Amino acid sequence: MNAARRRTYCQVPSQQRGVMTLTLAALMLAITAFLAISVDTGRLFLEKRTLQRQADLAALETSLTYCRDQSLDDDGLFSVAQAALASNRNNFRGSAEGIEVTLGEISSVDDGNGGSIKQFTASADGKAVQVTLSRTIRASLFGSVLPSGSQTITIEAQGAAEACQPVASLHLRSNLLNVDSSQSALLNGVLGGLLGTTLNLSVAQWDGLLDTNLNLLSYLDALAVDLGISAGDYDSVLNADVSLGDLLDVGADVLELGGNTAAVSAFRDLVLAIPGATPLISLGELLEVQTGAPEAALDIGLQAMQLVQGTIQLANSKSAIAADIPINLLGLAGATVKLQVTDPPRLMATGNPKLAADAPYGGDAIFVRSAQVRTFISLDLPIVGATLNTLLSLVNDNPLLSGVAGTVSSLLSLDILGVLQGLSCVVYCDIQRDLLDIEVLSSPRLDILLEAGSGDGRVTDYDCDGEDKALDALANSSAVSVLVGSLGSDMNDAATNAFDEASPSVEPIPILDIGTKRVRYQCTLLLICWTEYWDGSAWDGDPSAAERDAFSGGGLGLSLDSDLLAGSETLNFANNPSDDYLPEFGVDPIDEAYQSVDTQSLIDNLEGDLLGLNLEFYAPTNSGDGITGNALGGLLFLVGSAANALTGAVEAIITSTLSPLLTAIINQLLDALGVSLAETEVGAAMTCESDRVKLVM
């Protein structure tokens, strides 16, 4: 029995060894197969990548050669590509039959998702070159052991490059041409408010920023070093999130090399004043550079003042700080002014105008825009003082009061007591009536919300004909939205609603309150008569104790919700009468070269709306119309000389108050922000044939 056990025990390892041998054999086959797949896949990938690199290099060299000698025919282009692929240079191991060179042009096609894709089209008039390489290689290093199947495979690669392409830029010009002491204080107040801090730059420092240009290429190179980004990777630099302090500090370092001490000191003082909680921003939100644009497209000047304004406005749009503007800077009193940047500007854009013209609203668009700014003003109307007293005298004038009272009574069927003393009683009488009581509100507050939309310009066409060149840009002036009335229960509530809501709504403010008081006129048999007033719980002989039912007879309200449409015009830039009007790329346009949409009517309409407000009467709150949205009832139109005189008097007061306010906002506040309601000023520069080559596909 023990021997049997030993025999069974000894037989098990022999069986296991057989299974293990089979398993190991299968595993070795699997490993060999995976090894073959891995080796072949890696080899094919390297072959494909090498071929692609060779195609790209051949396309770059051929397109650059053609740019410099556009008399080359197909054979000449083929010779250039073949020379670039020679074994002593790029070691193309295919045959001459595997080289194909095509002349054509690159266009931008809408991808249907708001972007664009590049497309090569063969054309004898084009300046782009596409090189197609093909090469036959072994399909697999292990192919010889296979019983059947293809032993070779053909791989192919294409590269497209272009040179002598046009390059253009659009610029927005700052509304400020020079700074005096008053503008310096306003700039400190406005831009400091947007940052949530206090600025104290001098006139010389602001002027230094206006008079200084910063080379964008040098600036991006310095910023790349500061951020630890590889040299030449400008897309990463433009899209990197950077603190405002770092952006300005690097700008100061670059300007310091040029010796502009006023601008450098301005940058340094700004860096010291920036709060620590300021959000990160990226330059790509201010500067538009076409994807894949050559380095030469960045060799352009950027005004230091625009960089300061733009970066501060961009930071404000991300922080949602509503800046408090000191009213003394605007020459106002009894007012609160706040503003916020809701959409940052795009100061400059560069790229190939041909691609931009193909798809003006696509991913290769060349466009600039001004900032979109929302301005809130809360105005305390009693600042008109004596004029308001004049209105009080006016509405209490008997003929006018009786005219309004009669009109209100007839329209609203109010049981209004006119002249109580004119009543006579032969016998005992007890007469109860509503006595009309008109009041001008003791402290009305008028809210104004002014939203200046972004003005923009974008390239839509270009033309290069010998020495003549032209560039078309569609420019849109700023659209303006104006709300006037009440935005909240008090100033703080109104400011919160103005900036927290995407589309704030406005309620009319009650200018006149047509209320009533309940009175009782009694006489005894002895003709002893007296008047009593209802105080809410009992009759009282003291008129001052009378309970007043506000707006029971309606009221006079003021509100405005107006949208002023933007102007639009195609601007044509040409090197006529001189090259200064459409300079070569990288040269700043002269002042006279800037063009704008002529929309002075926009300002005229804005002033007309604000200074010609239509005041309207409202029905009583107890008229049964079911309207309970505000203290005033439903809209009701009063006519007649009395109503016209009353509304005319109120309009005169409102317009005399709003006129200086509007002037201050338009002429000072928005200009300090670089925002113009009247126009969008755009300048342009273009080089028709840039001796630069770039890979595009």
One domain for residues 184 and 311 = yes
Nearest to 405 by CA among 512, 310, 293, 315: 512
Instruction: Determine, yes or no, domain membership for 402.
Output: no
Q: Which two tokens stand for residue 337?
A: 């002014």
Beta-strand ranges (E) seen in 537-587 are 539-540, 548-549, 555-558, 560-564, 568-574
Out of 290, 322, 354, a domain closes at: 322
Strand partners, 555: 513, 618
Average pLDDT per run of 10 along the chain, which is 697 residues long?
50 62 73 69 81 86 82 85 84 84 80 71 83 83 56 84 84 70 81 89 89 88 90 86 93 84 91 90 87 72 87 88 79 78 86 87 86 83 48 48 50 43 53 75 73 82 86 81 82 87 77 79 76 88 84 74 72 89 86 72 54 62 43 52 59 62 63 57 85 74
Instruction: Determine, yes or no, domain membership for 215.
Output: yes
Secondary-structure percent of the chain, ordered helix, strand, coil, rounded to 5: 40, 30, 30
Distance CA 51, CA 54 (A): 5
Distance CA 556, CA 410 (A): 17
In this structure, the dihedral spanned by the alpha carbons of residues 288, 293, 298 and 300, taken in order and rounded to 10 degrees, is: -80
Taking the alpha carbons of 181, 183, 186, 187 in that order, is the dihedral positive or negative? negative
Distance CA 473, CA 470 (A): 10
Instruction: Determine, yes or no, domain membership for 527.
Output: no
Please state the domain count of the chain.
2
φ/ψ of 201, rounded to 5, equals -80, 145
Instruction: Determine, yes or no, domain membership for 433.
Output: no
Residues 24, 124 contacting (CB under 8 angstroms): no
One domain for residues 101 and 235 = no
Out of 293, 322, 351, a domain closes at: 322
One domain for residues 180 and 56 = no
Residues 460, 357 contacting (CB under 8 angstroms): yes
Out of 282, 303, 322, a domain closes at: 322
Helices (H) and strands (E) in the chain, counts: 16, 26
Distance CA 425, CA 433 (A): 16
Q: What is the pLDDT of residue 32?
A: 67
Nearest to 99 by CA among 124, 69, 129: 129
Expressed as residue numbers, the domain containing 64 is 21-161
H/E element, 285:
none
> What's the alpha-carbon Rg for the chain, to the nearest Å?
40
Residues 94, 23 contacting (CB under 8 angstroms): no
Residues 668, 330 contacting (CB under 8 angstroms): yes
DSSP code for 528: -
One domain for residues 25 and 123 = yes
Instruction: Determine, yes or no, domain membership for 578.
Output: no
Cis amide linkage into residue 577, ω under 30° from 0? yes
Distances (CA, A) of 191 to 170, 268, 270, 314, 381: 25, 15, 10, 11, 28
One domain for residues 135 and 228 = no
Residues 273, 192 contacting (CB under 8 angstroms): yes
Instruction: Determine, yes or no, domain membership for 293.
Output: yes
Number of residues in the chain: 697
Distance CA 165, CA 188 (A): 43
One domain for residues 225 and 291 = yes
Amino acid at 355: L
Amino acid at 649: A
DSSP code for 420: G
One domain for residues 117 and 68 = yes
Residues 368, 170 contacting (CB under 8 angstroms): yes
In this structure, the dihedral spanned by the alpha carbons of residues 272, 276, 277 and 281, taken in order and rounded to 10 degrees, is: 60
DSSP 219-263: HHHHHHHHHTPPTT-HHHHHHS-B-HHHHHHHHHHHHHHHT-HHH
Instruction: Determine, yes or no, domain membership for 511.
Output: no
Distance CA 436, CA 409 (A): 9
One domain for residues 219 and 318 = yes
Would the pTM count as exceeding 0.75? no
One domain for residues 297 and 233 = yes
Q: How far is CA 499 from the centre of its chain?
A: 15
Residues in contact with 350: Cβ distance below 8 Å, sequence separation at least 6, in sequence order: 167, 168, 169, 288, 289, 290, 293, 297, 298, 300, 366, 585
Residues in contact with 562: Cβ distance below 8 Å, sequence separation at least 6, in sequence order: 481, 482, 483, 609
One domain for residues 105 and 210 = no
One domain for residues 182 and 148 = no
Instruction: Determine, yes or no, domain membership for 10.
Output: no
Helix axes 181-195, 304-319, angle to 10 degrees: 40
Distance CA 464, CA 472 (A): 12
One domain for residues 40 and 66 = yes
